[in-house]
Structure 1
Amino acid sequence: MRQSVATGLAQAITTEPAPKGGVSYGGGIFAVRGNLLAYAAKDGRLHAVDLISGEQWPVTPAYEGVAAPSFSPCGRYIAFLGEQDGKCNVLLTELRGKSLPVKLSDDPWYAFNPVLSPDGVRIAWQEWDEMDMPWDQARLHIAEFALPCGACAGLQSLLPLKTTSLGRPGASYASPQFSHDGRSLAFTSDETGWRSLWVSEANGANAVRLETGEGEIGRPDWVPGAAAMRWSDDGKALFAVRRHRSRDTLLRISWPGTEVSVIESGWTGIEGLYARGDMLVFVGASPATPDALVTIDLKGGGETIRATSSVGLIHAASLSEPRVISWNTLDNATAWGIFYPAEVPGNEDKRPRPLIVFVHGGPTSERALAWDPQAQYFATRGWHYLIVNHRGSSGYGRAYQDALKGQWGVLDVQDACAGAISLIKSGVADPKRLVITGGSAGGYTTLMALTQQPDVWAAGISLFGIGNLYELKQGSHRFEVNYEQGLIGKLPDAGPLWKERSPLTHVRKVRAPVLLFHGTEDKAVPHQQSLEFAEAVRANGEVAELVSYEGEGHGFVKEATRRDVLEKMEKFLEKYVICLQK
């Protein structure tokens, strides 16, 4: 879609083939330069569109997947990611696709986020090795062309490359961004223990860390296309989003002066930051406001909502007001989460109320203090709702994130239970009406909790969760095919531990009713996982309900499906938790 800032009118600019990021789990779909659009398409090729004439043409041959297009400053070339035959490379192609793309990287396991310097002299990207995830250990490559892009006669004239690497063992380097004069390179690194903002010379030399206050800059790189910071057009400032205790803050950091100032905004969740001239663009959300496309005028200070995901009106006064909380968990550790207190009419009922404990996916991710329709749905119907950012979540420093290594299925389960117990002790939650739920990795934690803590939970709800870790290994997406080896243990030596950490191994211990949702086209966690777990629970004489959605994948995209999930969850909880039927 394209929207006029002046009139607010929106226009669809692509039809077929449909846009789709084909690297990892999507993302990095398009880039714009002047009146040209380049986008990754469902057919595995890059396509270009002239935004004035409407002319459209294929730019590359077909790959298993393409993503993250980036225009050269001269406009003649496009760098992009191409995934093929078990490798993901950075390639460079001509805009008109008259010759085959040139490979710039050296067959890494994965590469992300290629960016060309505005002077056309260099290109930088992130890459990592097969047994790593990008948030565990990743490096930056900075390549210098034989000639600036705008001065060469063709692709071959840009070679050979002079390449340098920027990284450290055990550290994650990510999100390279050149300044507009081509002299500086900004990036993130967590080598200090916190994901932080750094700036070096364009070739990676003399890097310095910029102090931006408590919290982290950037997110785990699950998909390409995200940038942790943006340069101002004059190169004298950087704009970034700092996350601290689940709340986002928009920052302006002067360069080279390193003075940090907060750009005031009511948005507590900020994604997809862009800077252009005197305008910032991002997707913002808050606990009372669904995702919206927002622009901020840096000169006038005005903030404008350009588009919103909201349908109908939302009465903010009737919503739950969430707060970030922490609690003590095992090993004298601290866990974090977001608590949505039940919104009871008149607020007169002070008795302990039923509690839903939600565990996010990933597990290397985090839920922000932002709009959460499921939390509000149940909180406004009399349920307390706790989102658990357990040990292993991002956003709380590298030590907190790494705590789950070798402990998946243990610490996450402990932290969810400890969060519920802390609310029981405070007189808030009803100990007989505790529910645990989550999707993907959170679904795995849900099923593990039902097997390991059968006397704690009154019910469990798993969305596309993992029941058998060995089967997951066999059917995993290439991006995270080795992810679980860091979370549990390396195979084959850790084989017995993989079996021990599989919920299906302990299914006989399940006593609480369980509801499972799964899409039949799920490529990340096959539908068979939920089917086998439900059958095993029922074979033991316990309650298991499985809802399958034809054509849905990993995460439900159809509005009708999402609505049906909420309605079925509510009926299930009314029957087995509120009425305590069995």
Structure 2
Amino acid sequence: MVDQPAERVISALAGPLVEALPSAQGARETHSPVSAHGCWYPSADPTGGQVAFICNRGGVPQLWAGPAGSDDVHLLDTGPDPVIEVSWSPDGRWIAYTTAPGGGELTRVLCVRPDGSDRRVLAGAAPGSTAYLGRWTRDGSAIAVTATDPPPGLLATEHGDSWHPTEPHPAAHPGEWTRGELSRGEWTGGDGHPVLLGGAHHSEVGAGARGPLSGSSAPPATALRPPRPSPYGPAPEPHLTGGGLAVYLADPAGVRPPELLATEPAGATLRMCDISPDGQLVLLLRGPRGAREAVVLRTNTCETACTVPVADGDPWIGRFSPSGRTLYLRSDADREFAALVTAELAPDGSCLRRLVTAQRDDADLELLAVHDDGRSAVLAWNRRGRSELETIALPTAPRVNGAGDDGHRATLLELRSPALSLPVSLPLSLPLSLPLPLPLPHEVVTRISPAGPRGLVLAVSGSLRRPGVWHAPDNAAPVRTPWSSRDEDAVAPGRPPVRPEHLRLPARDGLELGGWHYRAPDHGAGRQAPCVIHLHGGPEEQERPVFDPLYHELLGRGLDVFAPDVRGSLGAGRSFVNADLGAGRFAAINDVADCATHLITAGLADPRRLAVMGRSYGGYLTLASLVWHPELFCTGVSVCGMSDFLTFFAGTEPWIARSAAAKYGHPERDRDLLHALSPMSRIDALQVPLLAVHGEHDTNVPFGESEQMVKAARQRGIPAELLALPNEGHDFMRTRNRVLFRRTAASWLERHLAG
């Protein structure tokens, strides 16, 4: 068994809540569709002919489905809650998805039949809890969900006694795991007795239940080992944040009780990314930012078989081969850029060897999609913000004089090629071909989903188009689906979108920075124009050349936009991502000033009409830039930005705090540093007007972060306004609020940069 803490807090979410909801069967839109809408996050049915996707043509991101080649699509959930993720089951019987009730950060998992009937909640319905999707089992009989602990007072022991989630469970001792149930009417399975594996035998589940989903003897659930050391410093202690994460296999029909696979009492991330076809191995993603790990777990004993460091970014880090003997991962272990890594596994899941199968010296492997037959994969490389797509044949894990993943006896062949950095044993039956590039209609791919045996559906975006879904049947060139916006409908007539230019510039310490410069249509070369520096969130996000309605609004007001990647951003290697750690965050603040100076000296920006704006971490950098470099900017717009790291840690969600502490600093050990980095600590240096924008339901960066900054500015006689968006969380989902936000921000900037 893995090491187990003496004070383990078991998750209260003993099973999915199967709650019937109004049917959306046959629902069609009751209004004229908005032509300039977006479609994204596609997931195809087993045939590849039908696609479920997210679309905001009704004013909020909703779940839709329909044929890839027809515009005869229909709504599957007519509710007002924004949809976040979508996954069609391998057997074609269910579509699972997550929603954000009220537009906030607490999400729940639902499922629905492809015709819109039998809609139900699987997890995340308890007040204060959240849940998100994992992978389906290969036969589609169950889907993994990750759930968090609900607030105090909802927990119960096996004997019905309630206990506080921040205290040790009364029955929890080293090496012992207990069964936990909630009272009837809270969380129930098909027979009212959901099971936490470990303390209960299958005979105790109750009449009518078919037993846990794996069909094996009930092993103890596992608490994962502490994550690998983070480059951001020691992990935060559990008592600072509380709560826990748990992964379950859930029967969407609610007939069989759920099966608890793993828990992290103080985890930052926990997601099941795959399960081997025989159900013996599970692939989990865990760990804080900068220290993510792939964990292979044995389901019969719930022991950790092996761990492999993996890259940040897309959570779908890899898949098992059909035999379960090979694992394909997107990893940046001991590397600057993420690559495709092949791990050969022993029958017990332990790693025999790891090999780099596909790599690039100047680009991250950003997205990985493995076809179900395990013979090929589609890779999306991120090269300076643009995507490059290719399909490759996959090496299997054959045994000498044995059968490989394709079931054929294999003769080993050692081969080197530009796509393979190390010798890899391949069966002669596998086609030995170089990667095949796939044409892209626009600059960025945000999701790849297999569609049938050889097809693909792609979520594509670009500087001249709204997000859309493109279908590539049988390895053909991608074609826009009829229900995605046409490029000519991206904006209203008379105001065409702008394709940006990528700029490179040095920071004051010599580190190379990059960014995208958007010039307003009537601004000719050589003109010093009013300019807005816009800063992305994360920090480990990246500015991409995609259509942004906010930028389009600003450009239409005669304001140029420069969107940089300061240190800490993705896309330029691990060293660049880690360059803002600790006191390095002061250098990131200076990067914003260096961008402003470069725009001025290059003749691209008017030094008297320069503003700074950003969202989330970019909102923090906006506030920090205004108080560290007040002489550079005329005004600033902070969107959901942190103004004080200590109040941020006190108010954010527990799992967010754990990951943030690994990035920004520990709220106790690094208290002085966090105080020094907080804009509120330098509020007296603020000299220019400030607009803050925040979603009222934001529990990622609490609403009070903007509120306290605006209040402090007003107390010092600085003009400051706060726009509170109703029914929104950290990301603004509703079209009406998004329009209000960008028009308010653009009017503010236009007013203060005029002249």
How far is the alpha carbon of 1:11 from its aligned partner? 1.6
Task: List per-residue Cα deviations over 1:532-561 (Å, max 9, x = no partner).
Answer: 211221222222122222332222222222
Q: Shift of the alpha carbon at 1:366?
A: 1.0
1:89 corresponds, among 235, 243, 246, to: 246
Question: Does structure 1 retain, via aligned residues, the 8 Å contact 2:364–2:381?
Answer: yes
Aligned pair in 2 of structure 1 residues 272, 97: CA closer, same or farther (>3 Å)? same
Q: In 1, distance between residues paired with 2:67 and 2:352?
A: 41
CA displacement, residues 232-268 of structure 1 (integer Å, 9 cap, x when unaligned): 3442221011001111111112222472232111221
In 1: Cα distance, 2:701 partner to 2:132 partner: 23
Report what 1:261 is aligned to.
Answer: 436
What letter matches 1:167 in structure 2? V
Q: Provide the rounded CA distance (Å) in 2 between the counterparts of 1:304 and 1:404.
A: 40
Aligned to 2:460: 284
Question: What letter corresponds to residue 38 of structure 1 in structure 2?
Answer: A
Q: Supply the distance in 1 between the matched residues of 2:82 and 2:639 (Cα, whole angstroms).
A: 27
Q: Percent identity?
A: 21
Give the partner amino acid of 1:236.
R
Query: Residues 265-306 of structure 1, C-alpha deviation per residue, up to 9 Å, x if partnerless?
Result: 122111121112232112101111110011123444352234
CA gap of 1:427–1:58, structure 2 versus 1, over 3 A, is closer
Q: How does 1:138-537 map to 2 (within 5 A)?
A: 138-145=292-299, 159-161=300-302, 163-168=304-309, 175-191=317-333, 192-202=335-345, 203=349, 204-217=351-364, 228-256=367-395, 257=432, 259-276=434-451, 277-308=453-484, 312=489, 314=491, 318-344=496-522, 350-407=526-583, 409-537=585-713
1:557 corresponds, among 712, 715, 733, to 733
Whether the 8 Å contact between 2:294 and 2:310 is mirrored in structure 1 is: no
Query: d(CA) in 2 for partners of 1:217 and 1:555?
Result: 26
Query: Secondary structure in 1 aligned to 2:329?
Result: strand
Alpha carbons of 1:317 and 1:93: their partners in 2 closer, same or farther (altered >3 Å)?
closer
* Deviations 1:447-491, CA, capped at 9 Å, x for gaps: 111101111111111112111211101011222203443444334
SS in 1 for 2:709: helix
Note if contact 2:697-2:703 (Cα within 8 Å) is conserved in structure 1.
yes
Residues 1:439 and 1:119: Cα distance change in structure 2 (over 3 Å): same
- Quote the Cα distance in structure 2 between the aligned partners of 1:453 and 1:19: 38
Cα distance, 1:430 vs. partner? 0.8
Match of 2:255 among 83, 90, 98: 98
Residues 350-395 of structure 1, C-alpha deviations (whole Å, 9 max, x = no match): 4311111011011111121221222232234322211011100011
Is the counterpart of residue 125 in structure 1 residue 279 in structure 2? no
Summarize the Cα distance change of 1:265–1:317 in structure 2 as closer, same or farther, 3 Å threshold: farther
1:180 positional shift: 4.1
Task: Give the conservation status (yes or no) of the 8 Å contact 1:58–1:97.
Answer: no
Indicate the structure (1 or 2) with the bigger Cα radius of gyration. 2
- The question of whether the paired residues in 2 share the 8 Å contact of 1:406 and 1:486 is answered with no
- Structure 2 contact 123–131 (Cα < 8 Å) conserved: no
What is the SS of the residue equivalent to 1:403? Answer: helix
More displaced 10-residue stretch of structure 1: 367-376 or 90-99: 90-99
Letter in 1 for 2:735: E
Question: Quick one: distance in 2 between partners of 1:170 and 1:319?
Answer: 33
Distance (whole Å) between structure 2 residues aligned to residue 332 and residue 28 of structure 1: 43
For residues 186 and 103 of structure 1, what CA distance do their matches in structure 2 show? Answer: 25
Q: CA deviation at 1:527?
A: 2.0
1:70 aligned to 2:135? yes
Distance apart, 1:123 and its partner CA: 2.1
Name the SS for the 1:560 alignment partner.
helix
Q: What is the CA–CA distance in structure 2 between the aligned matches of 1:210 and 1:561, rounded to whole Å?
A: 45
**Secondary structure in 2 matching 1:307:** coil
Aligned to 1:115: 274
User: 1 CA distance for matches of 2:723 and 2:378?
Assistant: 44
Going from structure 1 to structure 2, the CA distance change for 1:301 and 1:348 (only over 3 Å counts) comes to closer
Q: Report 1:21-40 matches (<5 A).
A: 27=85, 31=89, 33-40=91-98
Residues 33 and 71 of structure 1 are in contact (CA less than 8 Å); yes or no, is this contact kept in structure 2?
no
Alignment check: 8 A CA contact 1:126 1:176 kept: no
**Cα distance 1:457–1:46, how it changes in 2: closer, same or farther (>3 A)?**
closer
Q: Residue 547 in 1 paired to residue 704 in 2?
A: no
Q: Please give the alpha-carbon distance, in whole angstroms, between the structure 2 residues aligned to 1:259 and 1:13.
A: 41
Q: Which residue of 2 aligns with 1:153?
A: none
In the alignment, is the contact (CA less than 8 A) between 2:465 and 2:490 conserved in 1? Answer: no
The one-letter amino acid paired with 2:271 is F
Counterpart contact for 1:68–1:114, Cα < 8 Å: no
**In 1, Cα distance between the equivalents of 2:112 and 2:552?**
41
Deviation at 1:400, TM superposition (A): 0.3
1:38, distance to aligned residue in structure 2 (A): 3.4
CA contact (8 A) 1:197 1:217 kept: no
Distance 2:526 2:672 in 1: 47
Residue type of the alignment partner of 2:720: A
1:324 Cα deviation from its structure 2 partner: 1.7
The one-character-per-residue Cα deviations of 1:51-85 (angstroms, maximum 9, x if unpaired) are 36934456569562332243323343333322226
Partner Cα separation in structure 2 for residue 566 and residue 19 of structure 1: 19
Inter-partner Cα distance in structure 2 for 1:569 and 1:50? 41
Distance 2:536 2:557 in 1: 21
CA RMSD, 1 decimal: 3.0
CA offsets per residue over residues 105-144 of structure 1, 9 Å max, x none? 243513113312234443211122xxxx2x3112222234
- AA matched with 1:138: R
Contact kept? 1:31, 1:39, Cα under 8 Å: no
RCO higher in 1 or 2 (8 Å CA, sep ≥ 6)?
A: 2
Question: 1-side partners of 2:526 and 2:381: how far apart?
Answer: 37
Instruction: Give the Cα separation in 2 of the matches to 1:370 and 1:17.
Output: 27
Q: Flag the 1:426–1:76 CA change in 2: closer, same or farther, 3 A.
A: closer
- The 10-residue stretch of structure 1 (463-472 or 308-317) with the greater mean CA deviation from structure 2: 308-317
How far apart, in 2, do the equivalents of 1:16 and 1:399 lie? 44
Q: Distance in 1 between matches of 2:439 and 2:562?
A: 28
Aligned residues: 546
Question: What's the TM-score, normalizing by structure 2?
Answer: 0.67
2:530 alignment partner, SS class: strand
Aligned amino acid, residue 117 of structure 1:
S
